[in-house]
Structure 1
Amino acid sequence: MIKRSCFIIFWMVSASVLAENAAQKENCVVSQHETFTADNVVITPQNIFDEEAENAIALHHWANSLHIVTKPFVIEERLVFQQGDEVSLGDLAEAEAILRREIYIANAQVEATNLCDATKPNTVTVTTQDNWSLVPTFSFGRSGGENSSLIGVRDSNLLGLGVYAQFRYTSDEQRSGYQLGFASAFHWIPHANVQLNLADNDDGERFHFIFNKPFYHVGTQTMQYAEVFNFRRVEDIFQNGETRNSLDVEQTLFRGAYGWNISASENHARRIVVGVDFSDTVFAFDPSSPSFNPLFLPEDREYQFPWVAYEFLDRNIKVKQDIRLIKQPEDINFGWLYRLQFGLETNDTREGSDFGYHLSASAERAFEMNDWLFLFETDFRTILNTTAKDFVRMSSRIDAFYRYSNVIGYYARFSGDFSSGQFLDIPIALDDDSGVRGYPNQYQHGAHRVSASVETRFYTNYNVYQLFEVGFAGFFDVGRAFNGETAQFNEDDGVLSSVGIGARFYSNKASSPGVVHLDITKPLTDGDGVDSLEWSVQFRRSF
């Protein structure tokens, strides 16, 4: 009788618990900030192409068979959590965004299951898809009576280890020589990286080493950074479509920094970073320079300054599509990110002064208004009380996106740069890359620059055998660089503008993120250095 009673009580309790768990599973809602234990972490790296897709062809099988899939431990090392950690859905979204930043990963999904089933362990599944990483490079051409060539190879995921390696030989009218590049995770320190770049050219050499353990995610407690940079080369400054002058430049830089996360919550981080900079840059006219006008010779710079910075991060990541790329998840932070930095110059100081000052401030965020998406960024820098003229520069940019339909989207951009004492070796100039398409490199110079663009974008929803997404654009650009000592040499000191059409090709299978632009551009102003119509094929960072 006692045994039967105990059995009945046990059965009733078990049924009650199961019923409670079933009700919990049915009504369970896990908030973005609620934490849970990642009991299991399952990592599944996938190959480049889906060979089961309807548009799969033999090329996909061939590429997958040649490619070495990323090793699971490489993905595990890039995660912001480990098995057994307390995490939230916000942490998983951040982990997705971080994985998608890796150039060897095309896409990533980080999902949690069993969160509402107390009878099963919480499982976090990490699924990644690889990019094609091995890129041989061959380029031969002849223009203006001069030959140019490039031959090399680059692998951004060597042997599936997440290692970047590059070797190439280049030869053109400016220089010829060899370049070697290497970058990898530094496995002894979580989330740390090392990078090395070497170059041996006929006009100089280059050595660049970086060790970087960043504030990897919102909860990272410390950061470390060290950089050593030394190079000697000839730098050409252009204006009006021609080489204006050539500079022999020698530069040495050392930078070290250490930072602390002084206050962190689920979606906010406040950080303090202290560091020191030593830099020495020496300029002289190269014997081949077309001009030796002393107005074009930059002043030497030799800075030594400790500095302190404050950073604030508000994490609010949303996944969007068709912003900078085509049919690709893009992680946009709708929270503020800003940084303030103050440095005390101890070497290059004005006569009668003990110190000079290096100050900078930057801020960026995304925000939505009705059906518009806006991306805003601004940057302020100044160097005061040194032997050179005081340097001040303010740069701001806003991009606006509006999706009218599945096929049509609208885009607008406005950007401005305003300066005093701008360094002559880093001129403020308006050209094809900096605001108005169709104009030669560094075409129009000035102390200030404003430019704007408007585009109508067409999304075809056409995918070429899992290789390319295709789009089209019609665009109008306008801008002007003005004021400053070098502006007097502009062949056209007025407003520059251009109109054009183009095709866009984006591949999320390539390890170099960006969009191929095939454009026909009509500059709307005349000049000896400006073609009446320009055809171009360029690789740009966005649509």
Structure 2
Amino acid sequence: MSEKSTPCFLFLLLGLAISSQVQAGPCRPWQQEDSLAKDLVIGEITINANNIFDPADKKENRWYHRLANKLHIQTRREIIGYQLLFSRGDKYDERIIQETERLLRANRYIKDVTVRPGQVCGNVVDIVVKTNDNWTLTPGLSFGRAGGFNKYGLDIQEHNLMGYGKDLNFSFNHTIDRDERLLSYTDPLFMGTRKRLDLSAKDNSDGEGYVFGYTLPFYQLDSRKSWGVTATINKQETPLYRNGSIFRKIGEDEKTLNIFYGWSDGNVKKTATRYSVGWTVEEKKFSAVAPYNIIPATRKLSYPWVEMEYFEEKYTKKTNFSTMGIVEDISLGHHFKFKAGALTESMGSDNDYLYLSASYNKGYRPFLNQLGLLSLGVNSFVGNGPLEGVRVKGSGQWHYLQSNNSHFYLSGEFEAGSNLQAEEQITLGGDTGLRGYPVRYQSGNRAFLVTVEQRHFFDWYPFRTVRMGTAVFADAGAAWGQGNSRKVLYDVGVGLRFVITRSSDAKVLHLDFAFPIGAPATIDNFQVILKTKKSF
């Protein structure tokens, strides 16, 4: 055999080896028991990237549905393709199919997604990926009222720029603390890769801010590496509250830089253990805000750190859970993080500390119609200096899914800190809980809040776009410390909920009427809260 023919012969052998593994045969529809087969390989991959409304459905073929479809720029097929965790010729793995579906559904511009086997030909299985878009251009006005304070805004957001999955946002918001003008851009698939680019700039009535981030996240369970650099600049005036009124303001000028690298062995029996190392630099300067004359000392932290993360892949799917009319993936597995950093004056910090941080999240499903969620977090600076101390935060939720239309909800949360700085406090009231009281009515260095709700979801689906619900609720909680005594406050109320299920924004509009119980005569007999949230 000549030298020139040798490469051709090797390619022929390689092709024969591959064809021995991929054997096409008589084709038939996929059956559930096929998922137990060990020798299946992926054949043809079909991506059906659909518009917002289905014209084949009479209920979604009105003139306004057709107009929305015509004006909307659909997600491009290659953008869906970039995010698939499998390729033609890969071994078929049901776990990877399900993970791909979850990752696609996490995109704001996608409402519905299914990733399913199609036909089976011998040991070759074809995969069909079907997506339905959300409406992603969301210009509009917003108005909210909580605890006696009005807030409003104007925004233009595009969460799927030209169908490429990029996010562009311009907004103006008048809040209780400041007027905000924000311009931001996010590309989660930078240059057709899994790298992520984040850019933002804001010009506020009390300062300005900038964000830069270029990262490669652990985007799937089997990811082997992660790295990134993030930087922020933020200038603002931070108000502190007492009995619902500002008693102090502090000017802040904060700069942060974070660089990290992470690695992992990937998926090991549906779990992943990840390790990261990095360096963080934080500098915060303070200034007086008239007529207040409080100026805390400048604070600078510079330290290397190590982090370990453990994640268990275990999910359940629910609709009408934390929102309405949208499929949600709820994590039930263990998720634990631990981080440690060493701060010394020789490395640029103000004082010597050992920084420790840990978090734990877990979901529970003791019965088919009950779900519990637990979240715990703690961080501490160990050493001699103004940051020395501990902060803890935790929350728990219990969901009793009585039917497709009824849902009983109980939640509790607490927060405490022994080392809150001069510009920090924990508040309750209005938009921070206790809906029957003025905004940030109580403050201190510790707080708890308990909420009970009976929720109802309506079947009525006007324009095939809007879902509605109601809630009857009761809140109880208190914030105290830093010279404030503990006094538990109570309120009850009723509320309406609205969500546009075909919008990439998909925020829930809350209209609540809350009535304080046993409140002082200086408190209004009821509060009207109008605001948008990510959840019910």
Coarse TM-score class (shorter-chain normalised): 0.7 to 0.9
Partner in structure 2 of residue 236 of structure 1: 239
Contact residue 222 and residue 265 of structure 2 kept, 8 A: no
The question of 1:129 aligning with 2:132 is answered yes
Partner in structure 1 of residue 42 of structure 2: 38
Partner Cα distance (1:283, 1:272) in 2: 35
Identity of aligned residues (%): 25
Contact residue 227 and residue 254 of structure 1 kept, 8 A: yes
Using CA pairs below 8 Å that are at least 6 residues apart, which structure has the higher relative contact order? 2
What is the CA deviation profile of residues 389-430 of structure 1, one whole-angstrom value per residue up to 9, with x for unaligned ones?
413111111100112233322110111112211234331222
Partner in structure 1 of residue 9 of structure 2: none
Partner Cα distance (2:287, 2:45) in 1: 58
Partner in structure 1 of residue 185 of structure 2: 182
Matches within 5 A, 1:97-112: 97-112=102-117
User: 1:108 and 1:423, CA in 2 relative to 1: closer, same or farther beyond 3 A?
Assistant: farther
Matches within 5 A, 1:293-312: 294=294, 298-312=296-310
Contact residue 349 and residue 387 of structure 1 kept, 8 A: no
Could you say what secondary structure the match of 1:487 adopts? Answer: coil
The question of 1:369 aligning with 2:366 is answered yes
User: 1:274 and 1:406, CA in 2 relative to 1: closer, same or farther beyond 3 A?
Assistant: same
The question of 1:77 aligning with 2:82 is answered yes
Partner Cα distance (1:114, 1:324) in 2: 36
Q: TM-score, normalised by structure 1?
A: 0.86
Give 1:100's aligned amino acid. R
Q: TM-score, normalised by structure 2?
A: 0.87
The question of 1:321 aligning with 2:319 is answered yes
Give 2:232's aligned amino acid. F
The question of 1:212 aligning with 2:211 is answered no
- Measured after TM superposition, the shift of residue 124 of structure 1 is 1.6
User: 1:406 and 1:187, CA in 2 relative to 1: closer, same or farther beyond 3 A?
Assistant: closer
Could you say what secondary structure the match of 2:484 adopts? Answer: helix
User: 1:177 and 1:479, CA in 2 relative to 1: closer, same or farther beyond 3 A?
Assistant: closer
User: 1:87 and 1:194, CA in 2 relative to 1: closer, same or farther beyond 3 A?
Assistant: farther
Partner Cα distance (1:306, 1:267) in 2: 30
Which of 495, 498, 501 is residue 502 of structure 1 equivalent to? 495
Partner in structure 2 of residue 534 of structure 1: 527
Partner in structure 2 of residue 344 of structure 1: 342
Give 1:535's aligned amino acid. V
- Measured after TM superposition, the shift of residue 216 of structure 1 is 0.5
- Measured after TM superposition, the shift of residue 236 of structure 1 is 2.0
Which of 321, 333, 348 is residue 331 of structure 2 equivalent to? 333
The question of 1:457 aligning with 2:455 is answered yes
What is the CA deviation profile of residues 436-492 of structure 1, one whole-angstrom value per residue up to 9, with x for unaligned ones?
22333322112221111111111222211111111111001101112x32526xxxx
Partner Cα distance (1:148, 1:459) in 2: 27
User: 1:28 and 1:262, CA in 2 relative to 1: closer, same or farther beyond 3 A?
Assistant: closer
User: 1:22 and 1:228, CA in 2 relative to 1: closer, same or farther beyond 3 A?
Assistant: closer
- Measured after TM superposition, the shift of residue 97 of structure 1 is 1.2
Give 1:252's aligned amino acid. K
The question of 1:48 aligning with 2:59 is answered no
Contact residue 393 and residue 420 of structure 1 kept, 8 A: yes
- Measured after TM superposition, the shift of residue 359 of structure 1 is 0.5
User: 1:111 and 1:425, CA in 2 relative to 1: closer, same or farther beyond 3 A?
Assistant: farther
What is the CA deviation profile of residues 51-76 of structure 1, one whole-angstrom value per residue up to 9, with x for unaligned ones?
33343332211111110001111111
Partner Cα distance (2:231, 2:39) in 1: 41
Partner in structure 1 of residue 163 of structure 2: 160
User: 1:479 and 1:80, CA in 2 relative to 1: closer, same or farther beyond 3 A?
Assistant: same
Which of 474, 478, 481 is residue 480 of structure 1 equivalent to? 478
Which of 181, 194, 198 is residue 195 of structure 1 equivalent to? 198
- Measured after TM superposition, the shift of residue 199 of structure 1 is 1.6
Give 2:491's aligned amino acid. S
- Between 1:423-432 and 1:251-260, the stretch displaced more is 423-432
Unmatched runs of 5 consecutive residues or more in structure 2: 1-22
RMSD of Structure 2 on Structure 1 (CA)? 3.2
Contact residue 29 and residue 119 of structure 2 kept, 8 A: no
Contact residue 435 and residue 452 of structure 1 kept, 8 A: no
Give 1:431's aligned amino acid. G
Give 1:356's aligned amino acid. Y
What is the CA deviation profile of residues 205-248 of structure 1, one whole-angstrom value per residue up to 9, with x for unaligned ones?
21111112111010011011211101212222233222222221
- Measured after TM superposition, the shift of residue 154 of structure 1 is 1.5
Count of residue pairs the alignment pairs up? 511
What is the CA deviation profile of residues 316-348 of structure 1, one whole-angstrom value per residue up to 9, with x for unaligned ones?
122122210123211112211111111111239
Contact residue 27 and residue 122 of structure 2 kept, 8 A: no
What is the CA deviation profile of residues 118-160 of structure 1, one whole-angstrom value per residue up to 9, with x for unaligned ones?
16x31121111111111223468999xx998744421111111
User: 1:149 and 1:362, CA in 2 relative to 1: closer, same or farther beyond 3 A?
Assistant: closer
Which of 511, 524, 538 is residue 504 of structure 2 equivalent to? 511
Partner Cα distance (1:449, 1:174) in 2: 21
- Measured after TM superposition, the shift of residue 431 of structure 1 is 2.2
Partner Cα distance (2:179, 2:137) in 1: 24
Partner Cα distance (2:86, 2:336) in 1: 25
Which of 514, 524, 528 is residue 517 of structure 2 equivalent to? 524
- Between 1:132-141 and 1:413-422, the stretch displaced more is 132-141
Contact residue 235 and residue 246 of structure 1 kept, 8 A: yes
Contact residue 452 and residue 478 of structure 1 kept, 8 A: yes
Partner Cα distance (2:221, 2:30) in 1: 30
User: 1:87 and 1:365, CA in 2 relative to 1: closer, same or farther beyond 3 A?
Assistant: farther
Could you say what secondary structure the match of 1:86 adopts? Answer: coil
Matches within 5 A, 1:237-276: 237-262=240-265, 264-276=267-279
Partner Cα distance (2:346, 2:87) in 1: 48
User: 1:362 and 1:25, CA in 2 relative to 1: closer, same or farther beyond 3 A?
Assistant: closer
Unmatched runs of 5 consecutive residues or more in structure 1: 1-17
Could you say what secondary structure the match of 2:468 adopts? Answer: strand
Partner Cα distance (1:470, 1:459) in 2: 6
The question of 1:466 aligning with 2:464 is answered yes
Contact residue 145 and residue 528 of structure 2 kept, 8 A: no
